Chains A and B, each alone.
Chain A
Amino acid sequence: MALEIQDPPVRSDREAEIAGLDALDVPIASARGNLARVWDGLWPKLTALGLFFFGWQAVVWAHLKPDYVLPGPITVLKALWHGAVDTGPSGSHVLLHAAATTMQRAALGYSISIVIGVVLGLAVSRSRILRAGVGSMITGLQTMPTIAWLPLAVLLFKLSETAIMFVVVMGAAPAIANGVISGVDHIPPVLLRAGRVLGAKGLNAYRFVILPAALPGLVAGLKQGWAFAWRSLMAGELIVIVAHKPSLGVRLQNARDFSDAPGLMAAMLAILIIGIIIDSLFFGVLERGIRRRWGLDRS
């Protein structure tokens, strides 16, 4: 048996009073288990998904459009399954291969956007001149539709990976920069003062106080940036078709060219599923973690 070192017994009344107040003041933690919490989050999603598929099927049953234009969910899910399982001429899974190409582009473009967005956001948020100069321009850039960048991208970089990266970064970086700016703007002044009193100056101030304090806004910006990156990427892939590079955008375009409605909707579903997975798994977990640490959890 391990030797347990015990605290000295409570000595004075004063100590007992303090310990008593502390015990009374500490909130009682909720006893709900992990599995129950996962289920709490899961069942509304599953119900919503069921309702969505049912609504879709109901529209198909109504025969507003012929089947070969608007197929039902079962046909599309089958096409999705075949796309994932069937192998193409090169021996790889067609849809998975396309999704992999798209995800690689997304990862690269998004990473570049994060670097540019965070640096730009920090610079603008801390400098009055930069804020006056480019602050509103960043918001303006964010309202510019990605598709409007595409002709320029093609002129500048031809039909290349670079053109796609260009529109992704133009879409995502301003959103991330804006998130950083609002994150820094909403830091309670008393935390900045506390940081200065503790002696956090220059780079240390950023590292130990400003960046962590701006984290909630930063994550909101990253999330929005992701949505912009994903959308821009799809627009880019639809227009900028790089030879021998099957991507989700290319699959959309091909399916339209061949009037393959199930294939088209299967690709759309794949785009939607990837978006949801990244949003709920990655950003959902990140945001929940921050809310819990900050004590903003309402549950």
Chain B
Amino acid sequence: MSALRLSPGRALEAAPAPAPGTPAISVDAVTKVYGPRGNHTFALDRISLDVAPGEFCCLVGASGCGKSTLLNLLAGLDSPAAGTVTVHGRTSLMFQESALFPWLSVRGNVNLALRLAGVPKSERDDRASELLRMVRLKGFGGKRPHELSGGMRQRVALARALAQNARVLLMDEPFGALDAITRDLLHDELERVWQETGISVLFVTHNVREAVRLGDRVLVLSSRPGRVVDEFTVDIPRPRRLDDADVSSLSGTITDRLRQEVRRHGA
């Protein structure tokens, strides 16, 4: 497994092969600043967190907690002002919108990801079929993205993300724009795909219940500057449901913690 490390002002570089037990993602005292010198705001202030290999880690926070900034850093789209970001293996990033390419079919979108990931032409078709089967869209390869529902598009986006052969999947409120029934089903689907692939997931959401439903661990972020202020391990056995009593009660606790953080800004 290769590793990528990001330091201030530098592009991604290879890190030595990880020893067993090394985290899949390691964020160490990372600071990111926006705005001009002298009048800048901290998007992230010395934030540190680890995600273990194969772990499903959720981040919850109010607006302005720098979630998107953090994901951009992890995806290699941006570099930190201070601190280090280390990711073992390729990352892929899913957004709230599916961001599928409208000029390509469903299969074409997955194929392009495979091509850009360096999968040889002869293997691409089989691999794309396999991925579409995994997200249960086998018969829809020839459709255009606009012909699909929001939930189906997010599943294609998931297949496309998996096509990159990433070891770490970053998700930026991927189900935020979906209706409740679809979201509920997609929670099950994501959980299944995560278990089948053994991929590490860092899942950002506003929805505390969703975080508790899905995560092994829920991290609470503060806003402006973003920092990890609390951490909850979710010991509730899987498969879980959104309306389980345990899920509800832990969600309540985390929501209270989050509100306390929000109140700080109103004082």
| Residues of chain A at the chain B interface (Cβ within 8 Å) | 7, 14-15, 17-19, 21-22, 25-27, 190-191, 193-194, 196-200, 204, 208-209, 212-213, 215, 293-295
CB distance from B125 to the nearest CB of A (A): 17
Could you give, for residues 188-224 of chain B, a 1 whenever the CB lies within 8 Å of some chain A CB and a 0 otherwise?
Answer: 1100000000000000000000000000000000000
**With contacts A14-B185, A193-B95 known, is A27 near B147, CB below 8 A?**
yes
Once bound together, how far apart are the Cα atoms of A194 and B100, in whole Å? 8
Q: B93 — which chain A residues lie within 8 A by C-beta?
A: 193, 197
Once bound together, how far apart are the Cα atoms of A200 and B145, in whole Å? 20
A26 adjacent to B147 (CB under 8 Å): yes
**With contacts A14-B185, A18-B185, A197-B92 known, is A25 near B148, CB below 8 A?**
yes
CB distance from A18 to the nearest CB of B (A): 5
Does B164 make an interface contact (CB < 8 A)?
A: yes
B188 adjacent to A21 (CB under 8 Å): no
A199 adjacent to B145 (CB under 8 Å): no
Query: B99, B137, B145, B148 — which one has the most chain A CB atoms within 10 A of its CB?
Result: B99
Q: A293 — which chain B residues lie within 8 A by C-beta?
A: 102-103, 144
Shortest beta-carbon contacts, A-B, top 7: A295-B146, A25-B149, A194-B99, A212-B103, A199-B116, A190-B99, A197-B93
Q: A190-B95, A212-B101, A293-B144 are in contact. List 17 more A-B contacts (CB 8 A).
A: A21-B151, A21-B181, A21-B182, A22-B136, A22-B137, A22-B152, A25-B149, A193-B99, A194-B100, A197-B92, A198-B112, A198-B164, A208-B112, A212-B104, A294-B103, A294-B144, A295-B147
Task: Give the nearest-CB partner of B94 in chain A.
Answer: A197
Judged by DSSP, the binding face of A is helix
Does B1 make an interface contact (CB < 8 A)?
A: no
Q: A194 — which chain B residues lie within 8 A by C-beta?
A: 95, 99-101
Once bound together, how far apart are the Cα atoms of A124 and B160, in whole Å? 31
Q: A18 — which chain B residues lie within 8 A by C-beta?
A: 136, 185, 189
Q: A19 — which chain B residues lie within 8 A by C-beta?
A: 136
Q: Name B118-142 residues within 8 Å CB distance of A.
A: 136-138, 140
CB distance from A48 to the nearest CB of B (A): 32
B144 adjacent to A17 (CB under 8 Å): no
Does B75 make an interface contact (CB < 8 A)?
A: yes
8 contacts between A and B (CB under 8 A): A18-B136, A18-B185, A21-B181, A197-B75, A197-B92, A200-B116, A204-B116, A295-B146
Query: B102, B136, B145 — which one has the most chain A CB atoms within 10 A of its CB?
Result: B102
Q: B146 — which chain A residues lie within 8 A by C-beta?
A: 294-295
Once bound together, how far apart are the Cα atoms of A207 and B137, in whole Å? 27
| Residues of chain B at the chain A interface (Cβ within 8 Å) | 75, 77, 92-93, 95, 97, 99-104, 112-113, 116-117, 136-138, 140, 144-149, 151-152, 160, 164, 181-182, 185, 188-189
Task: Give the nearest-CB partner of A296 in chain B.
Answer: B146
Q: A15 — which chain B residues lie within 8 A by C-beta?
A: 136
CB distance from B121 to the nearest CB of A (A): 15
Query: A22, A209, A213, A294 — which one has the most chain B CB atoms within 10 A of its CB?
Result: A22
CB distance from A129 to the nearest CB of B (A): 22
Query: B116, B145, B146 — which one has the most chain A CB atoms within 10 A of its CB?
Result: B116
CB distance from B111 to the nearest CB of A (A): 11
Q: B75 — which chain A residues lie within 8 A by C-beta?
A: 197
Q: A190 — which chain B residues lie within 8 A by C-beta?
A: 95, 97, 99
**With contacts A18-B136, A21-B185 known, is A295 near B102, CB below 8 A?**
yes
CB distance from B135 to the nearest CB of A (A): 9
A191 adjacent to B99 (CB under 8 Å): yes
Q: A25 — which chain B residues lie within 8 A by C-beta?
A: 148-149, 151-152
Once bound together, how far apart are the Cα atoms of A228 and B102, in whole Å? 30
B116 adjacent to A208 (CB under 8 Å): yes
Q: B137 — which chain A residues lie within 8 A by C-beta?
A: 22
A213 adjacent to B113 (CB under 8 Å): no
Q: B99 — which chain A residues lie within 8 A by C-beta?
A: 190-191, 193-194
Task: Give the nearest-CB partner of B170 in chain A.
Answer: A197
B101 adjacent to A191 (CB under 8 Å): yes
CB distance from B1 to the nearest CB of A (A): 18
Once bound together, how far apart are the Cα atoms of A237 and B156, in whole Å? 54
Q: A215 — which chain B residues lie within 8 A by C-beta?
A: 103
Q: B112 — which chain A residues lie within 8 A by C-beta?
A: 198, 208
Query: A194, A213, A294 — which one has the most chain B CB atoms within 10 A of its CB?
Result: A194
Task: Give the nearest-CB partner of B104 in chain A.
Answer: A212
Q: B97 — which chain A residues lie within 8 A by C-beta?
A: 190
Q: A14 — which chain B residues lie within 8 A by C-beta?
A: 185, 188
Task: Give the nearest-CB partner of A27 in chain B.
Answer: B147
CB distance from A298 to the nearest CB of B (A): 13
CB distance from A223 to the nearest CB of B (A): 18
Q: B100 — which chain A residues lie within 8 A by C-beta?
A: 194
A21 adjacent to B92 (CB under 8 Å): no
CB distance from A153 to the nearest CB of B (A): 39
Once bound together, how far apart are the Cα atoms of A208 and B115, in whole Å? 10
CB distance from A218 to the nearest CB of B (A): 12
CB distance from B74 to the nearest CB of A (A): 11
Once bound together, how far apart are the Cα atoms of A208 and B117, in whole Å? 13
Q: B164 — which chain A residues lie within 8 A by C-beta?
A: 198-199
Q: A197 — which chain B residues lie within 8 A by C-beta?
A: 75, 77, 92-93
